[in-house]
């Protein structure tokens, strides 16, 4: 068969095999052409019973009836076009009566969309709000990791049932040729390997553990996995802290009982192993820090070093605890997903686990400490730099102030260079989509919600983007300390490959995007005090004065001028020093 047909067939077999591993054993098929790879994979499976219905409306209602009897989802498969639209009445009924249903529809690839191609309509959101979850799968491509397909199917089956049962829509695009043909040709190596290896397995890529409500699922399997680990890593990401209930104390105690290093995202409220972020930024550090078992609370941190480490050398067991049923797994490596409160799970695991201890964990901690010292020694204190600003703001931020950190460079510098934050300091950042927009407004809303002043560390582009939100300070009950790092543009781009690839003029115009905004005038326009320290001593004094003003309702814009090229060079020098320190 041709390579596209072979990839279609293997992709579909992977999909069907993962459905089986997730416990799906019944499918309803409506005949059609674009769905040929899916139908052939179902026909070849001995583990799924199939029923054929001539019309898609009847097929979907048949799947609904199966769900009413079993409380389990059937898979209903159809071709593209109006065939999909005919399933809407059954999807509506399933949604309104909380019945599980997995609708898998074949679709044309993107080059045929919105082109007048026959039997091609917009299918991705055709069921609107009646689908409790949905996803669009691309045409099979050797560059797409097959585990991304598997984790999507795991999520789809899970969302049929949790947190509230309902219909899920998986839309799968296929390119022609669709039929398997007679002559076999090599399949893309990655897809072929996964097809072969996973066909022999009995468990899905990601196993979901969820009870729903306030009850915790059975954690004995988690305890067994933790005890069986040779080397381990505990990670506290976004969402480890929920509202007023922080998981930080229990997560810290759990990492200590395991003897594992602890990686804490700045927004998690968890004090991690000092220097671990820096350690994982180096090749040698990632080799040293790799673990056969990872225990993640909340969403995966955005730290590139961690994500690269687990992608390059996947852990044998990857446990994730998060309250949301959403898939929070950009690497598609999570093997066990506990859907429950991180605080409740961490507190429950402590007495179940007891003290384990891991000698390798102390080795990683020692190396992280060496990385921390190397970075500290490499940072000059005789002039202001962006890492030093983050370090200073973090060191001085104490309650009752809250801390808001902007996306792009500020959050990266806080993660890498700041000393451990005050244990009870409330920290927030817009890291869901990681945009720079709305930074000032979010910080002001954060202050209102805390009932306390907030210090916000953001970049100049973010400040310009949301300058109009400074009007919200009029009549605000709590002051704002707005620390703006002004490098006259987009500083992060100077550390990306485009800085070396584009000519200087093009880079400066389109990526550096310099500006001539006067932050002194901006502060005056909105009634803020303005400080512009030119050395570390002056920065400390300016922050102390601004903090005091904030506690009495006043607001200050503290502007720190830096140089983009010098900042990139400093980060490179620090990275080199850390790499040398850890071997």
pLDDT in tens, 34-71: 999 999 999 999 999 999 999 999 999 999 999 999 99
d(CA 174, CA 381): 58
Torsion of CA 10, 12, 15, 16, to 10 degrees: -110
**For residues 528-557, average pLDDT:** 95
Q: What is the pLDDT of residues 157-205, one digit of tens each?
A: 999 999 899 999 999 999 988 876 543 444 455 565 565 555 556 789 9
Q: What is the pLDDT of residues 325-370, one digit of tens each?
A: 989 998 999 999 999 999 999 999 999 887 666 656 688 999 999 9
- Asked which of 21-30, 424-433, 455-464 is least confident by mean pLDDT, the reply is 424-433
Residue 95 or 303, more confident: 95
Q: Which two tokens stand for residue 419?
A: 């000393």
Cβ burial, residue 108 (10 Å; 0-12/13-18/19+): buried
Domains, the chain, ordered by start: 3-199 (3.40.50.970), 207-362 (3.40.50.1220), 379-581 (3.40.50.970)
pLDDT value, residue 578? 94
**In the beta sheet, which residues pair with residue 105?**
78, 171
**For residues 88-103, average pLDDT:** 96
Query: Of the candidates 423, 482, 473, 479, which has an alpha carbon nearest to the alpha carbon of residue 452?
Result: 479
The answer, yes or no, to whether residue 305 has pLDDT greater than 60, is: yes
3-state secondary structure of 122: coil
pLDDT value, residue 418? 86
295 vs 13, 174, 232, CA distance in Å?
Answer: 31, 36, 8
32 vs 80, 119, 122, 171, 362, CA distance in Å?
Answer: 8, 11, 18, 15, 59
Strands (E), 22-117: 26-29, 49-52, 75-78, 101-107
pLDDT value, residue 245? 59
155 vs 92, 102, 122, 132, 259, CA distance in Å?
Answer: 21, 11, 23, 12, 32
pLDDT value, residue 510? 86
Q: Which two tokens stand for residue 180?
A: 């398997």
pLDDT value, residue 212? 61
Query: Of the candidates 119, 116, 95, which has an alpha carbon nearest to the alpha carbon of residue 108?
Result: 119
3-state secondary structure of 468: helix
The kind and range of the H/E element at 258 are helix 248-258
- Asked which of 177-191, 269-283, 432-446 is least confident by mean pLDDT, the reply is 177-191
**For residues 561-573, average pLDDT:** 94
3-state secondary structure of 186: coil
The kind and range of the H/E element at 338 are strand 336-339
Give the DSSP letter of residue 511.
Answer: I
């Amino acid at each position: 068969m041709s390579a596209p047909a072979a990839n279609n067939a293997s992709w579909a077999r992977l999909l069907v095999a993962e459905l089986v591993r997730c416990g799906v054993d019944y499918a309803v098929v409506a005949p059609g052409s674009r769905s040929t790879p899916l139908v052939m994979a179902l026909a070849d499976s001995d583990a799924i019973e199939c029923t054929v219905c001539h019309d898609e409306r009847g097929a979907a209602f048949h799947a609904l009836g199966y769900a009413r009897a079993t409380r389990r989802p059937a898979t209903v498969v159809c071709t593209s076009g109006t065939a999909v639209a005919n399933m809407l009445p059954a999807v509506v009924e399933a949604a309104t009566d909380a019945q599980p249903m997995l609708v898998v529809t074949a679709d044309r690839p993107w080059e045929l969309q919105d082109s007048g191609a026959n039997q091609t309509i917009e299918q991705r959101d055709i069921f609107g709000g009646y689908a409790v979850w949905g996803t669009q799968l691309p045409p099979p491509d050797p560059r797409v990791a097959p585990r991304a397909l598997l984790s999507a199917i795991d999520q789809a089956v899970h969302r049929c049932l949790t947190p509230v049962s309902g219909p899920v829509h998986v839309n799968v695009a296929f390119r022609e040729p669709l039929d398997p043909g007679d002559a076999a040709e090599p399949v893309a190596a990655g897809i072929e390997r996964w097809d072969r290896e996973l066909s022999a397995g009995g468990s899905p890529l990601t196993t979901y553990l969820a009870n729903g409500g306030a009850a915790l699922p059975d954690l004995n399997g988690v305890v067994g996995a933790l005890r069986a680990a040779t080397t381990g890593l505990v990670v506290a990401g976004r969402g480890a802290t929920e509202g007023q209930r922080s998981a930080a104390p229990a997560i810290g105690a759990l990492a200590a009982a395991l003897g594992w290093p602890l990686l804490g995202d700045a927004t998690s409220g968890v004090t991690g192993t000092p220097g671990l972020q820096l350690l994982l930024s180096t090749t040698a550090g990632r080799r040293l820090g790799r673990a056969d078992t990872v225990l993640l609370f909340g969403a995966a941190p955005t730290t590139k070093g961690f994500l690269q480490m687990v992608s390059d050398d996947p852990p044998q067991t990857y446990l994730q605890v998060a309250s949301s049923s959403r898939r929070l797994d950009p690497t598609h490596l999570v093997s066990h997903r506990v859907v429950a409160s991180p605080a409740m799970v961490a507190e429950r695991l402590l007495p179940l686990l007891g003290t384990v201890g891991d000698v390798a964990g102390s080795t990683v901690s020692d190396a992280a400490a060496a990385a921390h010292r190397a970075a500290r020694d490499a940072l000059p204190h005789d002039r202001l730099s962006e890492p030093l600003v983050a370090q200073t703001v973090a060191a001085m931020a104490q309650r009752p102030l809250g801390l808001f950190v902007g996306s792009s460079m500020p959050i990266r510098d806080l993660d890498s260079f700041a000393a451990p934050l005050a244990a009870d300091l409330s920290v927030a950042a817009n890291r869901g989509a990681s945009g720079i927009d709305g930074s000032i407004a979010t910080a002001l809303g954060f202050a209102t919600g805390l009932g306390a002043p907030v210090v916000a560390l953001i970049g100049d582009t973010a400040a310009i983007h949301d300058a109009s939100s400074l009007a919200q300070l009029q009549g605000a009950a709590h002051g704002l300390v707005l620390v703006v790092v002004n490098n006259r543009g987009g500083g992060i781009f100077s550390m990306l490959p485009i800085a070396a690839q584009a000519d200087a003029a093009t880079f400066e115009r389109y990526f550096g995007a310099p500006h001539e905004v006067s932050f002194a005038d901006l502060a005056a326009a909105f009634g803020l005090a303005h400080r512009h320290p030119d050395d570390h001593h002056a920065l400390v004094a300016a922050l102390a004065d601004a903090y005091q003003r904030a506690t009495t309702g006043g607001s200050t814009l503290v502007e720190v001028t830096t140089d983009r090229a010098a900042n990139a060079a400093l980060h490179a020098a620090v990275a080199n020093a850390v790499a040398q320190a850890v071997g």
